[in-house]
Amino acid sequence: MYSLLGKIDLDALKNAGDLAWKGMLSIFIVMALIYVLIIVLNKVTNKTAGKTISLKSILTKFTKRKTPKEPIEDTEQVASSTNNNSEN
Amino acid sequence: MDLDFLYRSFTEIFSGENWKMIVMWVIGFILIYLAIKKQLEPALLLPMGFGAILINLPFSGAIDQVLAGVLPAPGVIEWMYNVGIEASEAMPLLLFIGIGAMIDFGPLLSNPKLLFFGAAAQFGIFATVVLAVLCGFNIADAASAGIIAAADGPTSIMVGNLLKTQYLAAVIVVAYSYMALVPIIQPFAIKLVTTKKERLIRMPYNPQRVTKASKIIFPIAVTIIAGLIAPASIALVGMLMFGNLLRECGVLDMLSDVAQKTLANLVTLLLGITVAFSMKATEFIRIETLMIMGFGLFGFVMDSIGGVLFAKLINLFLPKGKKINPMVGAAGISAFPMSSRVVQKLGIEADPSNHLLMHAVSANVSGQIGSVVAGGVVLALVPLMLVGA
């Protein structure tokens, strides 16, 4: 067989065919592994993130319970406390 | 008084095959014109064009000379080439740190099924290798020509140089030129293998939430996976992922910024003028250079077709309403963000309310991983074939 540059090396052609299928297969394998990695990463990290948020919310609730709001008795007390705060 | 040296270069240029140097000046001017007037990859084509003129002057001091036949005079461009490309591949690899720092893998992590288009769209590489061998190239030169279709300049430089191709200059020039021509080549290729109905397919965008931890672990894990399967790709993948880790870690914003801007610009500047060393007239002006231009075009077209046909294949198994717009497959090449923009533009052209950009970006980003893995796979397989031969 001849080409533009002379005789075609049949061994080179066979190698090119080998390179083509092995190359494509290898890239797909790497991509498949990366795909699995992303799925696992997304699941694990999203789960962890969810737990962190719920823990935070529990802690916030707990803190709120520990400091219950005291009923304000009269408006004069409110006014004086506001004044004190603003001075500070 | 002997004043021969004043006109020695003028007489030299017309002797023997030195007329080819003048052709290289013209090529240099064309590259500079394309960079300035057409704004095709100006950061690279302009230094390359100027470098092509610089090294193709008789007795150019930019490359190694022997003065008066006795005193060796090292040339700076040859030195940069030997140190930065031939000896260590440092320049393309350093550029990868910058590129990695620029990439946001978020769209890919939130929509991972499009990752496989980054593999399918590498089809052009291998189709081109077969074509080049059919045209009489040996396997190393054919693989170097094929890697142009990775649409990834640094990978092309690295693969071509490690495989010791005699067409390195042509490979580099063609790789960068065609990357700039993606907006022209891809629409043609995509329309060739899609119908109007297929281009109208809508894809709902429901991205998953991506945590910071995912973004940090991803580059490290990909480096390990790619390194274990294709160790030859580890320098490429590793530098890319290192740059990305700088970006995502959140504690090295300054370094990430330097990698994205200063490092990437500096290396690009030096890389352009350094690769010009391989554009010596005697090595560049030959019929094979024109053939490599043809291979590059073929490779880019086959990349796009490979991606589109893979999407069509997947669509055979997907239920109605969940089908993939086949054009997104063509965005699986490494040319970022040109390829995503092409797909978005074609989507809007078919239906002004059909926005495919985010899907295309996911495929495009996966193409950046795919191209470096492809480079590594070529580097792993071709030397074995050369040893076998």
pLDDT, tens only, A24-44: 999 999 999 999 999 998 888
Of A8, A27, A41, the CB nearest to B374: A27
**Which tens digits make up the pLDDT trace of A37-87?**
999 988 888 776 555 445 455 456 555 555 555 554 554 554 444 444 443
pLDDT above 50 (res B33): yes
In a domain, B159, yes or no: yes
Looking at residues B29-43, what average pLDDT do you find?
87
Across B214-233, average pLDDT: 88
The pLDDT of residue B216 is 93
Helices then strands, counting H and E runs in chain B, come out as 22, 2
B199 phi/psi in degrees, rounded to 5 = -70, -15
pLDDT (tens digit, 9 = 90+) per residue, B79-138? 999 898 888 788 989 999 999 999 889 888 988 889 999 999 999 999 999 999 999 899
Interface test with A, best of B130, B133, B368 (most A CBs within 10 A): B133
Q: Is residue B61 part of a domain?
A: no
Assess whether pLDDT exceeds 60 at residue B295.
yes
- Domain assignment present for residue B127? The answer is yes
Q: What's the pLDDT tens digit per position in B144-197?
A: 999 999 888 889 988 998 899 989 888 988 888 787 788 889 999 999 999 999
Which pLDDT value is given to residue A65? 52
Tell me which DSSP letter residue B233 carries. Answer: G
Whether the CA torsion B158, B163, B169, B172 is positive or negative: it is negative
Can you give the pLDDT at residue A2?
66
Asked if B119 and A28 come within 8 Å (Cβ–Cβ), the reply is yes
The SS3 call for residue B73 is strand
pLDDT band at B301 (very low <50, low <70, confident <90, very high): very high
Confidence band, pLDDT 50/70/90 cuts, at residue A5: low
Q: Average the pLDDT over B199-220 and give the result.
A: 88
CB contact under 8 A, A19 and B139: yes
What pLDDT score was predicted for residue B178? 83
CB neighbours of B30 closer than 8 A, spacing ≥ 6?
A: B49
Mean pLDDT of B295-324: 92
Range of the domain at B152: 69-388
Based on the structure, what is the number of domains in chain B? 1
Of residues A33, A5, A22, the one with CA closest to residue B382: A22
Alpha carbons B180 and A43: distance in angstroms, whole number: 38
**Alpha-carbon separation of residue B184 from B3, B177, B189, B194, B343 (angstroms):** 53, 12, 9, 16, 12
For residues B308-314, average pLDDT: 94
Q: Which helix (H) or strand (E) holds B67?
A: strand B65-67
Residue B212 lies in a domain: yes
CB pair distance less than 8 Å for B210 and A42: yes
Residue with tokens 């390194």, as numbered in its chain: B227
Task: List chain B residues with CB under 8 Å of A47.
Answer: none
- Only one residue has tokens 């017309």, namely B14
Query: Does the beta carbon of A36 lie under 8 angstroms from any beta carbon of chain B?
Result: no
What burial class does residue B167 get, using C-beta atoms within 10 Å of its C-beta: 0-12 exposed, 13-18 middle, 19+ buried? Answer: buried
**Which ipTM was obtained for this model?**
0.86
Q: Which amino acid is at B297?
A: L
Give pLDDT, residue A55: 47
3-state helix, strand, coil in chain B (%, to 5): 75, 0, 25
Residue B189 lies in a domain: yes
Q: Any long-range contacts for B136-140 (C-beta under 8 Å, 24+ apart)?
A: B136/A3, B136/A4, B136/A5, B136/A6, B136/A7, B136/A8, B136/A9, B137/A5, B137/A12, B137/B288, B138/A9, B138/A12, B139/A12, B139/A15, B139/A16, B139/A19, B139/B382, B139/B385, B139/B386, B139/B389, B140/B164, B140/B165, B140/B382, B140/B386
Residue B251 lies in a domain: yes
Whether B261 maps to a domain, the answer reads yes
CB B146 within 8 A of CB B125: yes
Closest by alpha carbon to B288, among B177, B142, B129, B128?
B142
d(CA B230, CA B381): 10
Interface test with A, best of B110, B111, B214 (most A CBs within 10 A): B214
Residue B374 reports pLDDT greater than 90: yes
Q: Are A9 and B387 in contact (CB under 8 A)?
A: no
Name the average pLDDT for chain B.
88
Banded model confidence at residue B367, pLDDT cuts 50, 70, 90: very high
Q: Is residue B266 part of a domain?
A: yes
The DSSP call for residue B300 is: H
Q: What is the pLDDT of residue A1?
A: 64
Return the pLDDT at A64. 57
- pTM of the predicted model as reported, rounded to 2 decimal places: 0.81
Question: Which whole number is the average pLDDT over B333-339?
Answer: 86
Residue A81 has a pLDDT of: 45
Q: Token pair 């052009």 is at which residue?
A: B124
